[in-house]
Amino acid sequence: MLKTITSAICAALCLCSPVFAVFPIPGSGGVTASFIYDDGTGPALYIGGDFPSFNGVPGTQGIARWDGESWSSVGGGVSLGGRVEAFAVYDDGTGPALYVGGSFTDAGGVANTENIAKWDGVSWSATQSFPSLSGSVYDLEVATLNEAEGPRLYAGGYFFGTSGVRKFNPANDTWQIVGGTNNGGYVLDLQQFTENGTPYLYAAGSFSSMNGGASNLSRYNGSTWSGGGLSTNQFGVVHKLHVHDDGSGPALYAGGLFTTIGNVPASKIAKRVGNSWQSLGTGIGGPQPCPTCQVLCWAMATFDDGTGPALYVAGNFSQVDGQSIYRLARWDGASWSAVGTGPGGPGQEPAPVVKDMTTFNGCGGLAPGTPEVLFLVGKFDLMNGVDNRSVAQLSACSGGVLGDLNGNGTVDLPDLNLVLANFGQEGSAGDINGDCFVDLVDLNLLLANFGNFGG
């Protein structure tokens, strides 16, 4: 079971200010992707990038696994010089497995695993017959656009012969073309989102059109592409799409390099409301961080720090909505705030950045009140001044005060009864420290905070 690391500071103060835990074994190298996957032995954090090895563990070229205690190899990693960019869990009819995409010649030396491969927790296998998927995979998304067809796995990237989006057909292990871009375009991110009752697959990246659709952002309904009201400004690359609910219902958020989207002025980030877009304050800004890099949004995730779910945004920026905020920000639906001091460290070029974020809630949703954890990966030496090379962990308090399991704002008798009723149980309500087991540690934390209330 993946063990979360809660902070003694959080437990002592009973406040949910940003608390970055020290990762027990700092990593090294550039990390571009992160994902939580359970291979049957418990959920673990998988990371991908272009590192030759991670933390010196053999067989971690491009991909590594963290189980809460140590890093390990994933089937020997990918080919030397390869890069892992994307993860997704998909069931091709033989059971759920982890699909890994990127730019590599093979995974674990297995034939026909060029750029995409399947990991079942024990070994690698091919997801394609010859000829293999040529080019680079930048994102993977499982989407259901047609109920009769069911869930299908989509890959976005740059593919030789045609660029854009491919759909996996598990019946014959082939990847079908579902979107072409021109002028050397590519797709960086895919996201399913239902709008006005219709499920769409949104594709974001850098392209002049998608089968005649919009530039840099388009959507697919299972049969055709459309782009009305989606286009960004010229060179307005869309790097990331994310679905987040700020309390007014699920909405699609887009982040990247754009200054307008759907003809609406929006600096680097926007929210889709109905059939139009709206800005989030004055958006992301600040001076260009280096001569060869630009101000932009790289990543987004939803995370509850104990005060309610919020949108966390990372990228190359030093200002958000006119505030001095360095490369990591939080949007609560109404205003922006900083998340500690963000990523840092010497010798980082073009700048220390977070490239991806993944939320994990301790027990897979089995334990109400379990503190969430946000994993942040990228290229940095420090996070909030703490030594966290390439991988960092932000821990949360539950309910605004540690021990408030029922969310009523106070640590009281009902919370104590939850702990006692589930004492000795794994993955049960009453787990306060997030180790997925209700034990003496949880009881002591609750008693230490008994009578306290959130602000």
pLDDT cut 70: percent of the chain above it: 85
Closest CA to 202 of 217, 214, 186: 217
Closest CA to 19 of 307, 343, 340, 441: 340
Alpha carbon distance 164, 170 (integer Å) = 20
Alpha carbon distance 299, 356 (integer Å) = 5
Alpha carbon distance 394, 373 (integer Å) = 6
Contact 244, 311 (CB under 8 A): yes
What is the pLDDT at residue 16?
Answer: 42
- What are the DSSP calls for 336-380, one per residue? EEE-TT-EE-TT-SS--EEEEEEEE-TTTT-STTPPPEEEEEEE-
As given in the structure block, the two tokens for residue 160 are 């030789």
Residues 6+ apart with CB under 8 A from 111: 126
Cα radius of gyration (the chain): 22
What is the pLDDT at residue 345?
Answer: 66
Alpha carbon distance 70, 167 (integer Å) = 35
Angle value at C-alpha 253, between 102 and 366, nearest 5 degrees? 75
Residue for token digits 């690359």?
237
What is the pLDDT at residue 368?
Answer: 44
Residue 18: what are its φ and ψ, rounded to 5°?
Answer: -60, 125
What is the pLDDT at residue 382?
Answer: 86
Low-confidence ranges of the chain (pLDDT < 50): 1-17, 19, 21-28, 347, 349, 364-370, 398-399, 455
Closest CA to 6 of 397, 361, 429, 442: 397
Angle value at C-alpha 248, between 278 and 399, nearest 5 degrees? 120
Residue 446: what are its φ and ψ, rounded to 5°?
Answer: -65, -45
Alpha carbon distance 153, 170 (integer Å) = 9
Question: Is 228 exposed, middle or buried, given 0-12, 13-18 or 19+ CB atoms closer than 10 A?
Answer: exposed
What is the pLDDT at residue 64?
Answer: 96
What is the pLDDT at residue 179?
Answer: 85
* Dihedral class, residue 175 (left if φ above 0, else alpha if ψ from -120 to 50, else beta): beta
* Tally of helices (H runs) and strands (E runs) in the chain: 3, 36
What is the pLDDT at residue 3?
Answer: 42
HEC profile for 41-76?
Answer: CCEEEEEEECCCCECCECCCCCEEEECCCCEECCCC
